[in-house]
Amino acid sequence: MSTRTTWAVQRVPEVSGGVRLLATALSAILALIVAGIVLRLCGLPPLALGARVLHASFGTRFGIEDLLLLASPLAACGLSVAVMLRVGLWNIGAEGQFFVGATGAAAVGLFLPVGGTGTTLALMALAAAAGGALWIALPAAARLVLGTSEIITTLLLNFVARLLVDFLATGSWRDARSSVTAQTPRIHAAFAKLPRDWHLGGLHWGIALVIALAAVVALLFRYTSWGFELRVCGANREAARYAGMPVGRRLAEAMLLGGALAGLGGMIELAGTVHRLQGGLSNSYGYVGIIVAVLAAAAPVGVLFSALLMAVVLNAGTVLQTQGLPASAAVALVGLILLFVAMGERLSHYRIAVIRPRATPAGTGSAAAASGAAE
């Protein structure tokens, strides 16, 4: 009988958020190193380019502010996708819900004659959430009644939403006084800037709202029996039904909440950054939100970090383009980083363990899992 010590690679069922974050950071750095080597081989100076990207993103206060401004709609859309992933559904339609939410908010901001900015903003937020939820209501109904795949329906409605915004921005809501033909007039209700002495004066309170939304969703998931039910519905609907959970209702609720969150993202972008409804309001934030949610393994707080990561990556693409690299190089870099981060997420589940088969019968030696993460 073999009794010598040996080793094995084992899969750990659950890893902590800290380990996962570390794995993500290390993977991103590794991807950058690989990208640097490729650039070097192409005869480009990777360090100089890297320095430029870093400088553009983190080197100045404006850079950091820009980064956060870009990250916040990504986080909102990521949250939207994450909530639906919790019940095992794919929201490919955050883009459309984002637009419709912004449309609802713009309607309030443009046409509702109320006094205070605070009230208007609150009403805009309500309208946005309702708009986003409305936009997913049809896919939700189709899913629950007919079993239609939400992947297709939510995706298709994105195009409808975009057309709706273009229709309004070039049509009846168009700003007649401006020479730009595809936007509404400026909406005056806007998020206030953060206090000056926080040294992030370019940022608005909408960003705090996104963080608050992530926190609320995290609390709902962890500290309500509702959150527990969503998880079971996502893992095995038949078992959820057997356990007496109202499965259809929970799916519907998760979908509507997901739509509302993306809609709110649209409102925050509108009232915080863009101030006019226009077709360029979203730069594919809804689609990037899918990546954000997947990278965060659908954890609400993790979404904040992965949104930040995606913002850096998108920024780097822009910088590289200004340095004469083709746009496709930037896309390739994005892909490389995502690939590494996804692999890192997987690998963070593995540990090297030292195995000591028992030398003598009955309960002396044992397996000892030791050593650090494989990542």
Q: How far is the CB of 223 from another protein (least distance, A)?
A: 5
How would you class 185 by CB atoms within 10 Å of its CB: exposed for 0-12, middle for 13-18, buried for 19 or more?
middle
Q: Which is nearer to another protein, 204 or 351 (CB)?
A: 351
- As a whole number of angstroms, the distance between CA 28 and CA 99 comes to 31
Binding flags for another protein, 139-178, as an x/- string (CB under 8 A): ----------------------------------------
Task: Name the one range near another protein by CB under 8 A: 48-56, 209-217, 221-229, 253-261.
Answer: 221-229
Q: How far is the CB of 9 from another protein (least distance, A)?
A: 9
Q: Which is nearer to another protein, 122 or 353 (CB)?
A: 353
The verdict on 85 binding another protein (CB under 8 A) reads no
78 in Cβ contact with 216 (< 8 Å): no
The verdict on 362 binding another protein (CB under 8 A) reads yes
The verdict on 371 binding another protein (CB under 8 A) reads no
Instruction: Tell how strand 350-355 and strand 6-11 pair up.
Output: antiparallel
| Binding-site member from 138, 152, 353, 374 for another protein (CB under 8 A) | 353
The verdict on 17 binding another protein (CB under 8 A) reads no
- Residue 8 DSSP label: E
- Which single residue is written with the structure tokens 């040996």? 6
The β-bridge partners of 204 are 193
Six token digits for residue 248: 């259809």
Mention every residue, 6+ apart, whose C-beta is less than 8 A from residue 307.
71, 72, 74, 75, 78, 292
Six token digits for residue 358: 């028992």
The verdict on 114 binding another protein (CB under 8 A) reads no
Q: Which is nearer to another protein, 175 or 229 (CB)?
A: 229
Q: How far is the CB of 91 from another protein (least distance, A)?
A: 20
- As a whole number of angstroms, the distance between CA 331 and CA 37 comes to 17
Mention every residue, 6+ apart, whose C-beta is less than 8 A from residue 5.
354, 355, 356
The residues that touch another protein, with contacts defined as CB under 8 A, are 1-4, 6-8, 10-14, 222-229, 231-232, 235-236, 238-246, 351, 353, 355, 357-358, 361-363, 365-369
